[in-house]
Amino acid sequence: MDEPEFNKLVVNHILLKTHPYSLLPKNVKQIVGSKEVWKNTVIKYSLKHQMRYSTNLVKQFALDERHYYHDLLRVSASNYMLYPYHLSDVLIKGLKKTPFKYYYEMFQDIMDKEKSYDSLPNFTAADGVRLLGIGRNQYIDIMNQCRQKSWLWNKKKSTIQKLLPTEPLTIDIDYWWIVKLGYVTEDNHRSAEEPQRVIINKLLQEGKNGIVAGYLPKRTVHELFRKKLIYLDIPIKDDDIIQVPPLEGFVMNRVLGDYFENLLYKIFVSLDERTTVSQVSNILQADINMVKHAISLYIRLGFAKKKSVDPLPDPSVVQKSDTKYHVSWYKSVHFIDDVNNKSTNNQLSTNSENQQKEFQKLIKDTYDKEVGNKRIAFIFDSTITAFLMMGNLGAGLKNHAVTLFEVGKLLDETVDDFLSELNKISINEHEEGEAQTYFEHAIALKNTINFLRFNIDCFVDNSDGRVDLFRCERLESLKASTVTRIFANNYALVVSMAPISSETKLISSCFPPHFGSSIPEINSFWFKLYMYSIAKNGLPSMLFPCGTRLKSLPIIFKYFNYFLLTSGNRDPVIIPVNNILPILNDNLLKSPVFLQGFSMESDRPDVKYVTFPITEEEKSELSQYDYGNTIIDLQEKLHLECSIGFFKLIKVKQYARYIYSDDDEYYEYEEYDDDDDFESDEEFDNVDDDISNNNNNDNDNDNDNDNDNADEHSMNKRFFIDSTNTNHKAFNAPPPSSECNGIGVIHGKLNNFCDKRDCKPSIMRCPHDSETQIFDMSTITDIQECGIEQMICSDITINFPYTQSTIIQLLCDDHKEE
C-alpha cells in the first residue's frame, strides 16, 4: 500500500477507531487487500504514531499489550523520536522506562555507532540536553574521550557508559505541574529519606490523579525526580492561553519529519496570546488531545508558558496559613525570574502601551472609529533569519533569530524587545561585502516594523496597530485553508517583504487584503523577460537550456566581470567572471540557467531604487532622467497604480548591449558609455535563435562556441559567434540583389559559392530554424536544413542533395582581407 492511500485510510478509519476489517467499505478493502495486510497496517501506524494500546484499534490485532509497548519504544528510539510523555503512566510503571533511561540508551546507541550529533532531530536533542546535559560540545568531548580510552573494541560500550551521566539533571519544575508516582519498589521505599517517604505515601493515597507540585516541598520533589521515583504531568485545558517567548536552549540540528514533529511546528506558528488551545485545534483541524500533548511538551522544554495559570501569591503579603502552596516555592527561581522580568521589561511594555494609546486617539480623531482587535501580519522569508543568525550582529538578536526561524512567528508582545536589539545595530563604514549586507537587511527590517506599527497611514478597519511577523516557509507547512483561517481570525492586513525568495510558495489572500506577490511567476525570470520586453531595456541576458555545455561566454558578456546567475527557480547569485564557466556548466547539468551581465567593476554596483505607485509630482521629477519615461511607462502598462513595490536600477558604464528594433526585429550591438544613465537589473534579450543552436548540437556546438569569431562588421546580423580563435574570418551575406563579389556569398537561392581560392570554410551558419554546421572540406557533408546544391572553394567541389536555401554567414580559416 503506498503512502497516499495509507494516509487516507488512517484519517478516515483508524483515527475514528470504529472500523475493524469486517466493517470496512468495499473500496477500502480493495485498497488494503487481505485482512493480514490490514492488521500489519494498523500495527505499523500505531507504532509510528505512538498510540495508546487500550483506546485504539491496535488492541484487536496486537494481543500482548506489554510486547506492543516494547515495540513502540524500540521503533521510537531507532528513529530518534521524542519520548512519548503521554504514555508515561504505562511506560514508567509497567516497563520501568523513564525519559532519562530512554535518552540514555539512545545516546549510548548513537555513540556506539559513532554517528554525528546532528543525527538527532531538533526537539529530541533539546530534550536530551534538558535531562542528560549533553549538548553538541559535550557530545564531541565524550566521543573524543571514548576514542582515546576504548582502544579495544570490546571495551567501547563500557567506556561510553562510564562517560554518560547516571541520573537526570535538576530540571525546572513549575509549581502548577502535577507530580505522579512512578515505579517504586519496597527497596526504594525503605532506602528513601523520611521527607521522601512522606511524599511517596501521599502519592500512593492520591493514586493516578497525583498532587500539584506547589503543595509539596520543592527540594524533595527534585530529589525524587533525580531518583526516577516520580514523573511529572503538565495539565492543559481547552481554554488555556499559551505564550511563546524567544527561544532559549533550542538545538538546531535537523528535522525528522515524523507525525508529532510536524504537528509541533504547525502549532508553533499557530499559537498566539489571543487564541485558546481549543481554537488552535479547530484552526489546524487536529485532534485536541494531540494538540494538548504538543503544548505540554513546549512547556516541558521551556519553549512556551501557560499564560492563563494562576500566579503564585506574593510571600510578602500572604501569611503562611492563607495559602496552600509550600513556602519553598516562594523562593523558587520561577518567582524571582518573574519579578526580574517584569522590572526589566517594564520600560519596553510602557512604551508599547503609550504608542497604542496615541494610536487609538489618532484613529478616533481622524476617522472617528474605534480600533479593533486584529493586527497586521508581516511575511518574510528565511533570507532575513539567515542574515540575523550569520551576521554576528549582537548576542541579544540570536534568540530572536532562532525564534523567527524555528517557530516561524514573532508576536507583537516580543517585538519591543526585538526592536531594542535592532536599534543597537549601525552600519560600520569599514564593513563591506557580505557583512555589510547583513547590517543593511537588519536595519531595513527594523525600519519596516517601525513603519507598520501604530501607523495611522496603515490603518484598516478592525486593526489595533500591532504587527506580528511570520516566516513564509513555516506557513508553507500548513494547508492553504489553515493559513486562511489564521489570517481571517486575527489579522486585518497582510504585507509581504519584497523581493521574497523565488523558492518559497507565495501567500495568497483576498481577505484580509494582501500587499505582496500573489503568484510564484512574479519571482521567475519569465516575468523578468516579460517586463523587459515592455521596457525594451535591460542588462545583457541569456537563457541556456538544461544540458548545454559552454567552453566560452557569449560575446554579449564580453565587458562584464560579475554576473547574476539564476538556476531553475532558485534565487539569483552574483558570480565573478573567473568562476562563471565551471559554475554555469555545473548548474546546466541539473536545470536551465538564466545568465545576466551584472557589473564590470564590483559586485556592489551603484544602485538606485524607484518606488511605486508613482505620483504625478514624482512623474514630473522622473521625466528629467533618461530612465524616467521607461519607469512611468512600466507603471501604466503593468497597472501598478494599485500596488506597492520598487524598481531597482543599476548604474552602468561602457558595455556591450543589444538594442531592440521594432522595424527590423533584430538586436544591434552597440558600444555605450554614459555615466549618468541607469539600466534595470532585470534583462530582456531575444536568445531563442542561439538557444536552438545550443540545444540542437552537442559536440558540434562546443566547437562552434570555441572556434567561431564574428568580426565587427557582422555585429548587425542576426547570429553571432564568440571565439578565441583569431584565424576564423567572417564571410557576411550581402543583400539578395547583390552579385557574387569575391568576398562573400549570394543571399538567396544558390547553386554555388564564389570560387575563392584562399577560402577554407570550416563553419557555415544557416537561418534561425537551422543548425550551425561544422564540417571538414575533405568530406561530403549532408546539411539537411541548409540545402546547398554545390560549394566550390579551395579547388574542392562539394555537392549537396538539397536546394532552395539561404546562407547567412561563413566562417573561413586563413581568410585574407581584401
Q: Helix or strand or coil: residue 566?
A: strand
| Statement: residue 816 has pLDDT above 80 | no
- The top-scoring range by mean pLDDT among 35-39, 560-564, 729-733, 741-745 is 560-564
Beginning with the edge strand found earlier in the chain, give each strand of the sheet holding 463-471 in spatial order.
Answer: 409-410, 463-471, 374-380, 491-496, 514-515
The more confident residue out of 578 and 103 is: 103
β-strands 463-471, 211-212: how paired? Answer: unpaired
The more confident residue out of 116 and 312 is: 116
CB 539 within 8 A of CB 532: no
| Statement: residue 404 has pLDDT above 60 | yes
Cα-Cα-Cα-Cα torsion 77, 81, 83, 89, nearest 10 degrees, comes to -80
Nearest to 733 by CA among 767, 689, 701: 767
Q: Helix or strand or coil: residue 626?
A: coil
Q: What does the pLDDT read at residue 440?
A: 84
Cα-Cα-Cα-Cα torsion 300, 301, 302, 303, nearest 10 degrees, comes to -110
Average per-residue pLDDT in the chain? 75
The more confident residue out of 741 and 219 is: 219
How far apart are alpha carbons 32 and 726 in whole angstroms?
70
Query: Averaged over 686-695, what is the pLDDT?
Result: 29
Read off the pLDDT of residues 310-319 as tens digits, 9 standing for 90 and up: 777 766 665 5
How far apart are alpha carbons 782 and 699 in whole angstroms?
17
How far apart are alpha carbons 15 and 584 in whole angstroms?
50
- CA dist 753 → 370, 749, 770 (Å): 86, 11, 19
Query: Averaged over 241-264, what is the pLDDT?
Result: 88
User: What angle do helix axes 65-78 and 99-112 make, rounded to 10 degrees?
Assistant: 50
**Angle, alpha carbons 135-140-142 (nearest 5°):** 95
Question: Nine-digit cell at 40?
Answer: 500489519
Q: Helix or strand or coil: residue 263?
A: helix
Read off the pLDDT of residues 653-663 as tens digits, 9 standing for 90 and up: 544 444 433 44
Question: Nine-digit cell at 592?
Answer: 536551465
Other CB atoms within 10 Å distance of the CB of residue 86 = 20
| Statement: residue 335 has pLDDT above 60 | no
**593 — pLDDT class (breaks 50, 70, 90):** very high
Query: Averaged over 771-789, what is the pLDDT?
Result: 40
| Statement: residue 793 has pLDDT above 60 | no
Q: What does the pLDDT read at residue 330?
A: 80
Read off the pLDDT of residues 538-575 as tens digits, 9 standing for 90 and up: 888 899 999 998 888 888 887 788 899 999 888 888 89
Q: What does the pLDDT read at residue 431?
A: 60
Q: What does the pLDDT read at residue 764?
A: 56
Query: Averaged over 282-298, what is the pLDDT?
Result: 92
| Statement: residue 266 has pLDDT above 80 | yes
The more confident residue out of 601 and 782 is: 601
| Statement: residue 40 has pLDDT above 70 | yes
Question: In this structure, what are the phi and psi dihedrals at residue 18, rounded to the nearest 5 degrees?
Answer: -125, 10
Q: What does the pLDDT read at residue 754?
A: 41
Q: What does the pLDDT read at residue 338?
A: 46
Q: What does the pLDDT read at residue 748?
A: 37
| Statement: residue 759 has pLDDT above 50 | no
What percentage of the chain carries pLDDT values higher than 70?
71
Q: What does the pLDDT read at residue 290?
A: 92
**718 — pLDDT class (breaks 50, 70, 90):** very low
**278 — pLDDT class (breaks 50, 70, 90):** very high
280-284, 562-566, 738-742: least confidently modelled range: 738-742
CB 698 within 8 A of CB 774: no
454-468, 585-599, 753-767: least confidently modelled range: 753-767
- CA dist 324 → 217, 345, 644 (Å): 12, 30, 59
User: What angle do helix axes 395-406 and 412-422 make, rounded to 10 degrees?
Assistant: 140
| Statement: residue 485 has pLDDT above 70 | yes
Q: What does the pLDDT read at residue 787?
A: 39
Query: Averaged over 354-361, what is the pLDDT?
Result: 80
Q: What does the pLDDT read at residue 775?
A: 42
Query: Averaged over 77-99, what is the pLDDT?
Result: 93
5-19, 363-377, 527-541: least confidently modelled range: 5-19
Q: What does the pLDDT read at residue 76?
A: 94
Query: Averaged over 316-328, what is the pLDDT?
Result: 69
Other CB atoms within 10 Å distance of the CB of residue 595 = 30
β-strands 409-410, 463-471: how paired? Answer: antiparallel
| Statement: residue 512 has pLDDT above 80 | yes
**347 — pLDDT class (breaks 50, 70, 90):** low
pTM: 0.73
| Beta carbons within 8 Å of 729's beta carbon, 6+ residues apart | 709, 711, 811, 812, 815, 817
| Statement: residue 409 has pLDDT above 70 | yes
Question: Nine-digit cell at 386?
Answer: 539567515
**696 — pLDDT class (breaks 50, 70, 90):** very low
Q: What does the pLDDT read at residue 463?
A: 87
The more confident residue out of 439 and 668 is: 439
Question: Nine-digit cell at 541?
Answer: 541576458
204-218, 617-631, 680-694: least confidently modelled range: 680-694
Q: What does the pLDDT read at residue 308?
A: 80
| Statement: residue 426 has pLDDT above 70 | yes
CB 368 within 8 A of CB 488: no
**633 — pLDDT class (breaks 50, 70, 90):** confident
Q: Helix or strand or coil: residue 547?
A: coil
Q: What does the pLDDT read at residue 432?
A: 64
CB 421 within 8 A of CB 397: yes
Q: Helix or strand or coil: residue 775?
A: coil
Q: What does the pLDDT read at residue 698?
A: 39
CB 572 within 8 A of CB 565: yes
Q: What does the pLDDT read at residue 79?
A: 93
How far apart are alpha carbons 106 and 100 in whole angstroms?
10
Q: What does the pLDDT read at residue 459?
A: 84
161-170, 410-419, 583-592, 685-694: least confidently modelled range: 685-694
In residues, how long is the chain? 818
How far apart are alpha carbons 212 and 220 in whole angstroms?
13
